[in-house]
Amino acid sequence: MRRAVLICRALLIGGLAAPGGLAFLCPSLAASAAELPLLRLRSQLRFQEVKFSLSGEDLFVTRTGTTAGDVTFLPLPVAFWMSSAGAGHASPSQLAGLNEALNAASAGIQRDCVITSFPGWSGTYEVSWYGQGGRRANTFVVSLQFPPAQLPECPTAIDDLLREAEKYGGEVLGFAPFSPFAQ
């Protein structure tokens, strides 16, 4: 039975199943609105200072604070990828901080935008926010680029959201991503 619950959670966290569709496998988890997704943050970043480095991150958070994620990093001239993955559960204050940042950023109605305040960095963050029913309500892309792309400049609240999400992931999962917001 425990294995079935873990499979259900993995499917929910990975966004591969709707909560109602899991009723046959683990009804208590499927019926729980608390296990619905809240946020998914994916990034593909490049940093060029002395050498060129690549980084990728995937962070998934449920409404109860159950969190899973991984970060992958290729520091050049080293010719191999470094990766960390983990899962954890946020404290009420950590989850409250993330929710406050999501609300301030108007994540439900935000559109694609660009941040130009990080010279040397380029790449994207894909932010998916999930509505009350656990379905993806809005996805937008934040580009790090200089000179700026043909996108509007992101509001300051988006910078704050990305900084809070990076901090949240580092605290809950125990490893820090390689990004301009984690510096």
Q: pTM of the prediction?
A: 0.76
Are the beta carbons of 72 and 55 closer than 8 angstroms?
A: yes
Asked whether residue 28 carries a pLDDT value surpassing 70, the answer given is no
53 and 130 housed in the same domain: yes
148 and 78 housed in the same domain: yes
Query: Domain limits at 7?
Result: 1-35
Asked whether residue 20 carries a pLDDT value surpassing 80, the answer given is no
- Looking at residue 105, what is its pLDDT? 93
29 and 40 housed in the same domain: no
Q: Mean pLDDT, to the nearest integer, of 10-19? A: 51
- Looking at residue 30, what is its pLDDT? 46
93 and 140 housed in the same domain: yes
16 and 44 housed in the same domain: no
Q: What is the mean pLDDT of the chain?
A: 79
89 and 143 housed in the same domain: yes
Q: What is the number of structural domains in the chain?
A: 2
41 and 128 housed in the same domain: yes
Poorest-pLDDT segment among 24-28, 105-109, 143-147: 24-28
Q: Residue 122 — very low, low, confident or very high, per pLDDT cuts 50/70/90?
A: confident
- Looking at residue 81, what is its pLDDT? 75
- Looking at residue 48, what is its pLDDT? 75
